[in-house]
Each structure stands twice: as structure tokens, then as C-alpha cells.
Chain A
């Protein structure tokens, strides 16, 4: 165990995965990852092509070309950079190119803000990328080899985002176990796609599809996401066997089984929620946690099963769909329960936008608010940490 910065732990895990081509453009708070990778390359510790491109748009575009040519590819970005990639994100997924990218979650402008929330990756929800959210630095680091294994699987072949909260995880110094090369080699097979750009077997990539075939391409992407549901679980277990660490597959839980109140969330806030639960359990409250690790594919069945005994469900969102007054997790959880016999209120709270701190007191306040349901006072969804004096 060593104490390193979160970004370093992730950069190190990328190194262990031996990508052939890395292409990235600097943006806070992703910079330390790409700086560390650049240093590895400069010190001859990594044999890969590191491309200093002129924009995030070219970063992802270069990886589309590189991946089609048969390379294992990596990038990292956040916020404005991820938004700039938007068009190409669809393209990478549609061409079924398993690029892996760390998204160091940050708020979107305007107002410009460099601190953490998850609006950036949530806004790319429908682009056909797998999205896993990490709870702490160790999970962020361990996610990289897991995502390569999932993304590059023949049944999946989809690009993947490893989402880690900016600053909170990327800039924190924590004791972590750095991935070992020998274990990573054992865990992660080399990337060997069936079709690559090759003069010996000249295939055409990115042909245009008319109405007679376009639907089936989309359907196949959806099926690939379905395959990823299984693969994410499988790979989490395989990782556990090789490295002895496990953070859940699609979901994870904490004191969930007998809990009447269930809090659902993604990312680093999970730690604070666990502390809050420990505290309130001592006071006799029946509270548990359902952590969403995989937001895409969305684990509908796993969530339904996990919420079987819940009396109240609370969702926490570091994002908002402006005009719906709701975060994405809230909307999706509601939707996934509607066609079932489960009739449990789902109450959405939006918080932590633009880096606003989420202390235990905020979580307690949320829980108290949600409990009003029992008295017939129902909150649909609201901002949990507004500064009333500013409004």
C-alpha cells in the first residue's frame, strides 16, 4: 500500500493495461492523469504512442482511427472537453470501437466552474458508452483494467467511461494498492478484434446505413449493452479472484437487506452516505444504501430486486435535467419501477452541483425530508442544498 494522488493511481493502472495509443487534451481536473502518463512515456516506462492533440474532439477522433486500426486506446477528459467530444462519442460507439476513457467528473459552463458534479458524463448518457462510477480512489484505479476487459469483449465491443469525481477523487492522496503488472497481464487478455484496418483484408468502416438497416445497428448496440450487464458482473468477480478486491458489479449495497429507507447514489458521495447510515443506524433508523456502479447499461432487474423491501427510496443526483427539476438517476429509478408491483415512493434530491460540499448534515436533512412521506407529505424532487439567502 502506498499513499499517492488519485490521478496517479489511475495513470498507473492505465500503464498496467498497456494501451498502444493515448490521445488527450488537458483540462482541469483531468490534467494530473495525462501529465503522469506523459511522464511515464518520457521515462520510457510505457511503450505507446502518446498524441498531444489540439482539442478533445481530435483526441477522441484519433482514438477512433487508432482503435479501428487494432490499437488498445485510452483518453481522459472532463466537462467542457467531454461536451466537445459529443458527436464523436456516438461515432465511436456506433462503430463499436472499445475506447476506454476516464471522465474526471466536473460541472459544465456557464457559469464556468472547475469543481465536481456529474453533469458532464450524465449528459452523454445516450451516446452508447458504458458508464461506471467509482466510489473511491482504489475503485477508480481498478476500474481501468475491468473496463478494458468488458469493452473489448467480442459480445460487447462498446466504448466505456470510467467516471471519478473531480478533485474529490482525482486530487486526493489516499493509501492505495497500485496494480501489479503480472496480475494485470493475467487478468486482461490482449485486444484482438476480428476486423481492423488492414491492406491484406480491406474492409470499409463507417459506411452509411439507410432506413433499411439503420434500426438494426441501433438494436445491436442495445444488445451489446445487454451483454455488458452480464460482463460487468462477471469481470468484477474475475477481478476479485485475481486481485482480491470487489466493489460490486452493476450495483453494490450497504446494510440494505432490512432497510426501510434506501438511499441510491453514484460516485464518491457513497462514502459520506455510508458514514451517515452508520450514525443513524445507531439511533435505530432502518436505513441502507444501494450504490449504482453501472449507470449504462442501467441495471433495471438488479435495482428492482434490491428495492423489493424498501418503503421509501431516496435518489441523490449531482446533475439536473433542466426543465424536469430532476436528476437522471431519479428519473431512471422511477421509470424502472413503474411497470412492476412495487409501489414505493421515489424522492429525488439534487445536490453537490459545481463542487458544493456534501456533508453528513445534508444527507441527514434529506432523510428527514423523505421521512415526511410517512406523514403524507410528499416531495417529488428538489435541490437539497440551496442557499436560500442567495435566492
Chain B
């Protein structure tokens, strides 16, 4: 039985619920989870209920890494920390944007904790506003496509690189669509001493506008088109990548999502898709995916 109980209020087909379940599958009972404000936090803990079968704390949106540092320090000070893993499970907004400073501090201090970013590429809990993780040309409620806009004008922030630059001994990307790989990486991260990081790609049916049954399929397409490369970094060096046997063109990933619909309907969309294809091409080259 999962340590994340059913009865939670995640949307049918929710990516965050899957990510939470996989993380707990990987870590087991002996852990403490810290969650910043966001979908996963809200839908799992409507007082007096909680879906969590492990000790869990939510404080604020931007301070999860600091709270987790404090938990770790307390466990050390109280002589309790031997095997108990300290885990943060936070959204992309909490991680790449508002909580970045606290994360930087925690990684610099070198606490023994694992930070999992569940990246659904926008602020879902507040209604799909853009975040620093929203990819180029995705339409969100604050970067909508319109008569003179193709949606989000910025590129996705490279968070794993930022963490690696802090000297983290283990940084990995994962996807909810590759569960065994994700679980293996989370295990490795928690078993590595020091502050470690796993960035989990998590397609959100509600925010990305596809049917809930396709959550896993869309995540797989992100990997197969090289829009989401799966790799591991140890002490700043890329030490493992998931190679692609037959890479698919990015259109296959984009066309199944409502947030990219304008690229296929508006004039000039084809040109913009080429820019997205260029991102995938860069990933292939940079990480040696082929």
C-alpha cells in the first residue's frame, strides 16, 4: 500500500500525486517530508485529513528548503538522525522562483537532505500562471497566447545546472512517466550524503490541457522528443544519460497539449515550432542523447 493514501483531492490523472507516490515508494517510512504551498500540499492535507503516511510539514510557499534545513539540524542536535531521510517535495514555482534563495542557502550549508522538484511547468494551484519553469511558447493564464503573442516568451530556467553549481554531489532529472528510473534516482539521491536534487518532469492534465488518461503518455513524449532529457550529475559532471533510440519531432509532443494549440492554428506558428525544435536539438547535442 502506498504511503500516500487515496482520498486526496488531486485531479483525476494528477501528475503531482504520482510524483508524491513514487518518491515515498523510493524512500519508505523512515523520512520526514517538507512541502511548500502548492497543489500537492493543498490536495493532500485538508484539515483534519492528511494523505501522508509519513511525518510531513508545510510552512509557507517560499521556505521549504529552510524548514527542511531546520528539521535536519534539529535531528542532528537531538541525536536522532541516523537513517531518517529529510525530503522536500516542492513545485516548480516554489523551487525555481520564490523559494530559490532558501534552496541556495540550504545547498550551500550542505545539509543532508534531498530536494525533489515536481515540475508541472506553471503555478497550478493558483490557476496555471507562468513560472520560471514554463517552457517557451506555452500558453498560461499570465502568458496567454493572443493576437500578438505566442505565449510565454521566456525559456525554461535550467534549475539542475543551478543546483549543480552549488556543488551538490548528486543532481538528476527524472519523469513521472519513467517510474522505475525515477525511483532509482530518488533512492540514489537520498543515499548520497549531503544536499541532493531530483528534478521530476510532471505533465499536468489540467494546466497543459490534455485528458487525464494521457498524463504518462505526454511525459513519455517529452522524453522521446528530447524536450526533457533524463540525466544524472555527480559532483557537477554528467555521469549518465538516457539515450534515445528513435527521436521524435517536437510536434508530436506539442500537438497533444492545449497549451501549444496556438502554434498549430495561428499564422507564423510553424516558424515558432522550429525554435522549440532547436531546444530539443540542443539537448541532444549537449547531453549526447543519441
Which residues of A come within 8 Å of B, CB atoms? 20-21, 23, 47-49, 51-55, 57-59, 61-71, 73, 87-88, 91, 95, 197-199, 201-210, 213
Neighbouring B residues of A20 by C-beta, 8 Å: 74, 77-78
Partner of A204, one of B57, B62, B67, B104: B57
Neighbouring B residues of A95 by C-beta, 8 Å: 59
The CA of A62 and the CA of B66, in the complex, are separated in Å by 5
Neighbouring B residues of A57 by C-beta, 8 Å: 62-63, 66, 101-102
The CA of A201 and the CA of B52, in the complex, are separated in Å by 12
Asked if A64 contacts B74 (CB within 8 A), the reply is: no
Identity of the chain A residue whose Cβ is nearest the Cβ of B106 in the assembled complex: A58
The CA of A57 and the CA of B65, in the complex, are separated in Å by 11
Q: Given the known A-B contacts A53-B66, A69-B71, are A206 and B52 also in contact in the complex, defined by CB atoms under 8 Å?
A: no
- Centre residue among B42, B45, B55, B58 by max chain A CB count within 10 A: B55
Interface stretch among B27-35, B173-181, B253-261?
Answer: B27-35
Q: Does B68 contact A (CB under 8 A)?
A: yes
Q: Given the known A-B contacts A21-B73, A69-B70, are A198 and B102 also in contact in the complex, defined by CB atoms under 8 Å?
A: no
The CA of A173 and the CA of B76, in the complex, are separated in Å by 36
Asked if A64 contacts B53 (CB within 8 A), the reply is: no
Q: Does B84 contact A (CB under 8 A)?
A: yes
Q: Does B184 contact A (CB under 8 A)?
A: no
**Closest Cβ of chain A: how far from B48's Cβ, in Å?**
7
- For chain B, the count of residues having a C-beta within 8 Å of the partner chain is 47
Q: Does B231 contact A (CB under 8 A)?
A: no
Asked if A55 contacts B70 (CB within 8 A), the reply is: no
Q: Does B108 contact A (CB under 8 A)?
A: yes
Asked if A61 contacts B66 (CB within 8 A), the reply is: yes
Partner of B45, one of A63, A69, A208: A208
Q: Does B69 contact A (CB under 8 A)?
A: yes
**Closest Cβ of chain A: how far from B81's Cβ, in Å?**
10
Instruction: Annotate B33-55 by CB proximity to A: 1 below 8 A, 0 otherwise.
Output: 01000000110011111101111
Partner of A91, one of B30, B59, B109: B59
Neighbouring B residues of A213 by C-beta, 8 Å: 47-48
Asked if A204 contacts B50 (CB within 8 A), the reply is: yes
Neighbouring A residues of B75 by C-beta, 8 Å: 69
Asked if B46 contacts A207 (CB within 8 A), the reply is: yes
The CA of A210 and the CA of B183, in the complex, are separated in Å by 34
Q: Given the known A-B contacts A198-B55, A203-B55, A210-B46, are A69 and B109 also in contact in the complex, defined by CB atoms under 8 Å?
A: no
Identity of the chain A residue whose Cβ is nearest the Cβ of B45 in the assembled complex: A207
Identity of the chain A residue whose Cβ is nearest the Cβ of B63 in the assembled complex: A61
- Centre residue among B74, B76, B105, B108 by max chain A CB count within 10 A: B74
- Centre residue among A21, A57, A197 by max chain B CB count within 10 A: A197
Q: Given the known A-B contacts A58-B105, A202-B52, are A69 and B58 also in contact in the complex, defined by CB atoms under 8 Å?
A: no
> How many residue pairs, one in A and one in B, have C-beta atoms under 8 Å apart?
161
- Centre residue among B31, B57, B65, B84 by max chain A CB count within 10 A: B57
The CA of A188 and the CA of B285, in the complex, are separated in Å by 63
Identity of the chain B residue whose Cβ is nearest the Cβ of A97 in the assembled complex: B59
**Closest Cβ of chain B: how far from A23's Cβ, in Å?**
7
Neighbouring B residues of A66 by C-beta, 8 Å: 70-71, 73-74, 77
5 A-B contacts, Cβ less than 8 Å apart? A62-B67, A65-B69, A207-B46, A207-B49, A209-B47
The CA of A71 and the CA of B54, in the complex, are separated in Å by 19
Asked if B59 contacts A88 (CB within 8 A), the reply is: yes
Asked if B34 contacts A65 (CB within 8 A), the reply is: yes
Identity of the chain A residue whose Cβ is nearest the Cβ of B104 in the assembled complex: A54
Partner of A49, one of B32, B76, B101: B76
**Closest Cβ of chain A: how far from B87's Cβ, in Å?**
12
Asked if B32 contacts A69 (CB within 8 A), the reply is: yes
Asked if B74 contacts A70 (CB within 8 A), the reply is: yes
The CA of A197 and the CA of B78, in the complex, are separated in Å by 12
**Closest Cβ of chain B: how far from A343's Cβ, in Å?**
46
Beyond A21-B70, A68-B57, A202-B55, list 10 extra A-B contacts (CB 8 Å). Answer: A23-B70, A66-B70, A71-B70, A71-B73, A197-B71, A199-B30, A199-B32, A199-B55, A204-B52, A207-B58
**Closest Cβ of chain B: how far from A159's Cβ, in Å?**
13
Neighbouring B residues of A198 by C-beta, 8 Å: 55
The CA of A95 and the CA of B47, in the complex, are separated in Å by 13
Identity of the chain A residue whose Cβ is nearest the Cβ of B32 in the assembled complex: A197
Neighbouring B residues of A64 by C-beta, 8 Å: 59, 63, 67, 70
**Closest Cβ of chain A: how far from B202's Cβ, in Å?**
21
Asked if B70 contacts A65 (CB within 8 A), the reply is: yes
Neighbouring A residues of B210 by C-beta, 8 Å: none
**Closest Cβ of chain A: how far from B51's Cβ, in Å?**
9
Asked if B60 contacts A199 (CB within 8 A), the reply is: no
Identity of the chain A residue whose Cβ is nearest the Cβ of B35 in the assembled complex: A206
